[in-house]
Structure 1
Amino acid sequence: MNDTQYAKYCRDQLSEFASTLQKRTEDLTDGDSLKELAASFSALANGERDLYGDGPTLISRLFTTYPDFGPTLPRDLLWFLGGECLHYMPDDEIATYQQLDELRHEAASQGKVLDLHQARSSIGKVQ
């Protein structure tokens, strides 16, 4: 998986998460803060908001205000957005993502494309 494919993969995960969160909150009343957060994630996924500027803020809001929904956020998005999002990852998970990034960059330097799923399996993180 090269950088472009990885970015698309993460954006696809964001879209899927946003869609699921939107569906889970559709019966809430207008003005409900969780419903508004879901709408913000949908806007982010649709490119209507700044991914790198607004994404970490929305993720922090999700984890601090609605911690029950935190585990539903794909872990790849925490790593992809980095910065403050890394506070929601344990050290061993960060180490795993660092290994994956190193493998991805090594493959790219050799003109190869890393199979992310196979790489995860080889380092013990099956997904």
Structure 2
Amino acid sequence: MGTSPRLSEPTAFWKAHPELLPEHVVACTGESKGNVENLNVDFDPEPNAPVAEIIKRLEAAGWTRTEQKESAMGHDLQFRKDTKRIVVSTILGHKRTHAMFTWEELPGEQADP
């Protein structure tokens, strides 16, 4: 994570897996509810390609990209690994790119053999 002051501490999952977050992000808010953990971050400093940085980090850690959508507002990405899902939504147009990371343990699903 970036060296700028954090506004919030990451939740347990994100704290245990800093390798999934791009370098130079600052945690803004974190929230945990049952099997879902959210972390909102800003890039500081802003990289040339923030979405590519997100994809590179998650795929390098063995997460499979299952969905990618782009709009004028930003990007929506989904990744899967066993019975877990990470959804990342980015918002462009601010001073910095803002990314919302959501980790979720999917109920009632079996891990891949």
**Same-fold call, TM > 0.5?**
no
Instruction: Identify the structure with the greater helix proportion.
Output: 1
Instruction: Identify the structure with the greater strand proportion.
Output: 2
Bigger CA radius of gyration: 1
Normalization by structure 2: what TM-score?
0.29
